[in-house]
Amino acid sequence: MAAPATKRSEEAMIGTNDISEGWRPLMIVGGAVAALGLLAIAFPFATGIGVELLLGGLLVAGGIIHGVHAFGARGWTGVLAQLGLGALYLIAGLVMLSNPVLGLATLTLILGAFFLADGIVEIYMAWTVRPESNWAGLLFSGVLSLALAGLILVGWPGTAAWAVGLLLGVNLLTTGIAMAALAMGGRRIARTERGSQPA
């Protein structure tokens, strides 16, 4: 009689991570994320401006927090550095909020530079691990990053109208689809388990 009780207590302690029990919320969230991705793809400029404004607001909030902490810790040796950092955050955030189009163009330039650096590093990694079996996938990813960098940087600043919003939208869409696919797998498992239970 003690063995089943011990087994149940072990199961309770371990808990369950079975996707079959929580596939519905995952499906709803995945569908919502995918829908947001489609909206971002349909309206890339508005999405890019929204991202830029959000980043500007976060910078302003960060600057205020730094300033409040600096004034609250006046005896601290790093108070001047923190005040300077807070001022930098605040100024950068206010510039982005006051001129969203310029801020979006700057974000696009940074994004292009990121893809350029990422592509170079991935191609170098692929070259160094070339004897390995799947080095070509890394090479392909690097070449794709370089192509994206070229597309963004050659057309800059015109690419600011679509690059940030479109890439965010594609990311949200693929994430949502992956979550929904995972939820579908959980639903199949749940149906199989219900069908295998004795009447």
Q: In angstroms, how far is the first alpha carbon of the chain from the final one? A: 25
Question: For the segment 6-34, what is each residue's pLDDT rounded down to a tens digit?
Answer: 444 444 444 444 666 777 888 899 999 99
Asked if residue 27 belongs to a domain, the reply is no
pLDDT at position 71 is 82
Whether pTM exceeds 0.75? no
Tokens found for residue 30: 């995945």
Q: Are residues 118 and 157 in the same domain?
A: yes
pLDDT of 184 over the 90 cut: no
Asked if residue 11 belongs to a domain, the reply is no
Q: Are residues 117 and 175 in the same domain?
A: yes
Among all chains, which residue has been given the structure tokens 């500007």? 56
Tokens found for residue 42: 């349909």
Asked if residue 40 belongs to a domain, the reply is no
Domain boundary among 98, 115, 130: 98
Domain that holds residue 105: 101-186
Domain boundary among 65, 98, 131: 98
Number of domains forming the structure of the chain? 2
Question: For the segment 86-105, what is each residue's pLDDT rounded down to a tens digit?
Answer: 999 999 999 999 999 999 99
Query: Which among 88, 90, 83, 89 is positioned nearest to 69, based on CA atoms?
Result: 83
Give the model's confidence band at 134: pLDDT under 50 very low, under 70 low, under 90 confident, else very high: confident
Question: For the segment 40-57, what is each residue's pLDDT rounded down to a tens digit?
Answer: 999 999 999 999 999 999
Q: CA angle, 116 as apex, 159 and 139 as ends, to 5°? A: 120
Domain boundary among 59, 83, 98: 98
* Distance, CA of 161 to CA of 48 (rounded, Å): 7
* Distance, CA of 24 to CA of 186 (rounded, Å): 9
pLDDT at position 19 is 64
Average pLDDT over residues 81-85: 88
Q: Which residue has the higher pLDDT, 74 or 45?
A: 45
Q: Are residues 107 and 78 in the same domain?
A: no
Q: Are residues 57 and 118 in the same domain?
A: no
Question: For the segment 142-164, what is each residue's pLDDT rounded down to a tens digit?
Answer: 899 899 999 999 999 899 999 99
Asked if residue 9 belongs to a domain, the reply is no
Question: Average model confidence (pLDDT) for the chain?
Answer: 84
